[in-house]
Amino acid sequence: MDLSEIAVSSLRHAKDMDHAESYVVRSVIRSAYIDGGRISNIETKTDSGMCIRVANDGRLGRACVTLSDEGSAGSCARSAVRVSSFSPKNSMFRGYPSPSRSLIRTDVFDDRIDNITDDGLKEILSAVIDSCDTDIPRGLLRLSTIRSAVANSNGLLTEHRSTMMYGHFTSMFRGTKNGEGTESVHGTSLTLDPERIGKELGRKARASAEARPFRGKKKITMILPPCELGDMIMSSAGSALNGENVHYMRSPWTDKLDTKVASDVLTMTDDPGTPGPLCSAFDDEGTPSEKKVLVENGVLKSFIRDSFIGSSTGNGMRRNSTDAQNIYCSAVGIRPMNMIISAGRHTREDIISQTDHGILVEKFAWPEADPLTGRFGLEVRCGYLIRRGKVVGTVNNALMMGNMFDALADIDLIGSDGENMGCITVPTMSFSGMELAGN
């Protein structure tokens, strides 16, 4: 049977439930690895499974299974029913989505990923290695094809297919002083430039080796490229926009709809019509997705929700933007499909030239802000000091301190170089009033 037939037929085993939903997914994951500067392994995995959720008299049950034989679907449904019989009543649950039409179209399937061979993967990784003038101790390129279907007891049936590209590479310059560089790529098509990745890996490793410990403490303008800014935005604003956090009063923006939460220059949308690894016409619960304005010219306009929170905005997701294996085991969570910060008109060079005292952070140890307060204190692994519009040195062993919510309220400049980093697309941005501290 195809995925839709499996999803629909499995619901018969939960026909006595008030509500039932079946999510079936089949993924093909092709992964190629670099280890110690050489291609070490290429593997292909096929992963098929399903998750069934049921509700009866307010009691919820969930079970997952690998589709190994014809009896798997029935066994999964019966397990979910048994779980529900032991569950406490949940007053928040309002039911699963009803059938409705999507108003958007998405094209997130690339035949080149679906048909890639081992030789094709080797060719890409060889080009990365050959273009890098330093060692590449570790590297991963993962190409996935995902097909899924959702059916529920309301008569809903949706299907989705997509391809996904994720790569992460680490470089190392070995000399009097060692230096490390990293590059990550996200996408839905095979558009990566392996020569550029290799050259950037070499450049970043050498720059890190040349960095010197920062001394003293000063107020400074922080410039973040997409690779570091994406996680900073998601851990702060992304968390604040999450409807579950709003419901449980964990969001600092809970009571701030239609009020100013950020700078006038900031506009954020969730746009599933712009290709990204998670984009689709329906979310993973079958709710139609749509373009949503989240923050407009600094004013909070909406939150994102799944069906559990109620009045879903089409953001109930099981998938993530890096790995297609065991998706059916993942619980539904609230996630943007492609949260886009509207690009500005400045190149990165423009932003540097208009910065009096600042630092362009090329690598944090771990770019993340506290989701409740927005505060952060992050180790700068490699950054470029800027004075009067010029790069004057490369530093490390420094602590960058600030608050991401305050930073979003005091944006200096927004770049024109928007780049997809999984479920968020961001440009380079600069923020004044940060504190940089060294020895």
d(CA 361, CA 165): 26
Look at residue 424 in the predicted model and tell me its pLDDT: 97
pLDDT the model gives residue 103? 86
CA neighbor of 327 nearest in space, from 288, 286, 287, 284:
284
96 and 170 assigned to the same domain: yes
pLDDT-derived band at 369 (thresholds 50, 70, 90) equals very high
Looking at the fold, whether 40 and 52 belong to one and the same domain comes out as: yes
pLDDT in tens, 14-31: 999 999 999 999 999 999
**Same domain, yes or no, for 140 and 91?**
yes
Tell me the pLDDT band of 237, cut-offs 50, 70 and 90.
very high
Please identify, among 209, 228, 255, the residue that sits at the C-terminal boundary of a domain.
209
- Are 15 and 90 found together in one domain? yes
In this structure, the answer to whether residues 68 and 215 fall within a common structural domain is no
Q: List strands edge to edge, sheet with 339-341.
A: 299-300, 292-296, 268-270, 339-341, 424-426, 419-420
Contact yes or no for 114/144 (Cβ under 8 A): no
Give the residue numbers spanning the domain of 187.
3-209
Q: For residues 57 and 68, state if they share a domain.
A: yes
Residues 170, 101 within the same domain: yes
Q: Which residues 6+ apart lie within 8 Å of 1 measured at CB?
A: 9
Mean of the pLDDT values across residues 273-282? 96
pLDDT at residue 105, as a whole number: 87
Q: How much is the pLDDT for 83?
A: 97
pLDDT of residue 310: 84
Q: What angle do CA 143, 170, 202 make, to 5 degrees?
A: 115
Evaluate whether residue 330 is within a structural domain.
no
183 and 219 in a single domain? The answer is no
366 falls within a domain: yes
Residue 406 lies in a domain: yes
- In whole angstroms, give the CA distance from residue 268 to residue 58: 36
| 370 shares its domain with 409 | yes
- Predicted TM-score of the model (pTM): 0.95
CATH of the domain at 127: 3.30.2290.10
In a domain, 13, yes or no: yes
Number of domains the chain is built from: 2
109 and 167 housed in the same domain? yes
In 3D space, the residue among 290, 279, 283, 328 whose CA is nearest the CA of residue 308 turns out to be 283
Helix (H) or strand (E) holding 359: strand 357-364
CA angle 313, 270, 94 (to 5 degrees): 10
CA atoms of 85 and 35, how far apart (whole Å): 49
Last residue of a domain, one of 193, 209, 225: 209
280-335 residue pLDDT tens = 999 999 999 999 999 999 999 999 999 998 899 999 999 999 999 999 999 999 99
Mean pLDDT of the chain: 96
Q: Does residue 53 surpass a pLDDT of 90?
A: yes
